[in-house]
Structure 1
């Protein structure tokens, strides 16, 4: 089934990815589906943006230039941002899976991944995660 086949309510998605082409592709794809997307390239920017933007979903890279994606997620949650999380990573080890599971991450997508797989996950995210 195509990711566009079953429309979902608009979601606010914060993409935290330091690889510009991947981040832009994710953003463009999700915006085409009607979601509101913000893109940042590091953890500090994600933490600063989370309160004002209040995302429903955080799509975050495991490895960011200034901290790990998990450190950014933990800091955002300490600030009251309790959105769902989808980890994108090229590191499919047990330690990464365990850390994601311990933090309640919705899903892990291993690079490279199909944008349609991410779109299916976005459709599953409840709009109110407070």
Structure 2
């Protein structure tokens, strides 16, 4: 069974390229365009991994991560935060609130796929 990944980003070009890339790798994909939609999609789609942008409308990626990390039913959910904010303080904050990994934009798609496979423990 394919791993399920929820892509949460408000930039359509990033969403399209990630969706294409990850579907090609055999993952099942769902998409959300803001923080509130992300939480609704997590409940409906039950992803294994969240690719979570930090700067978004309605709720930031940090807020979404905090909400999910306080939900005892979501302990197995992996969160990979994506952000143009690559300062050490931003990365430290993302990891401190419970993200499993943090990548800064722009990122290499090859590196992203490798990180996703590593987090999901797939060859």
Common fold: TM-score over 0.5: yes
CA shift for structure 1 position 123: 1.1
Deviation readout 1:18-64 (Å, 9 max, x if unpaired): 00010111011000100001111100001011122111111011100
Asked whether 1:22 is paired with 2:3, we answer no
Partner of 1:4: none
In structure 2, which of residues 37, 49, 56 is the aligned counterpart of residue 45 of structure 1?
37
Contact 1:13–1:35 under 8 Å retained in 2: yes
TM-score (norm: length of structure 1)? 0.83
Is 1:102 aligned to 2:96, yes or no? yes
Q: Which runs of at least 4 in structure 1 moved beyond 6 Å after TM superposition?
A: none
Higher mean Cα deviation, 101-110 or 47-56? 101-110
Output the aligned Cα RMSD: 1.7
Tell me whether 85-94 or 69-78 shows the greater mean CA deviation. 69-78
Question: What is residue 110 of structure 2 aligned with on the other side?
Answer: 116
Which of 58, 64, 75 does residue 66 from structure 1 map onto?
A: 58
SS at match of 1:55: coil
Find the counterpart in structure 1 of residue 4 from structure 2: 12
Q: Is the 8 A contact 2:65 2:98 kept in 1?
A: no
Say whether residues 1:36 and 2:28 are aligned partners.
yes
Which has the higher relative contact order, 1 or 2, with Cα contacts under 8 A spaced 6 or more apart?
Answer: 1
Structure with the bigger percentage of helix: 2
Q: How many equivalent residue pairs? A: 119
Greater CA deviation, 24-33 or 87-96?
Answer: 87-96
Unaligned runs of 5+ in 2: none
Give 2:69's aligned residue.
Answer: 77
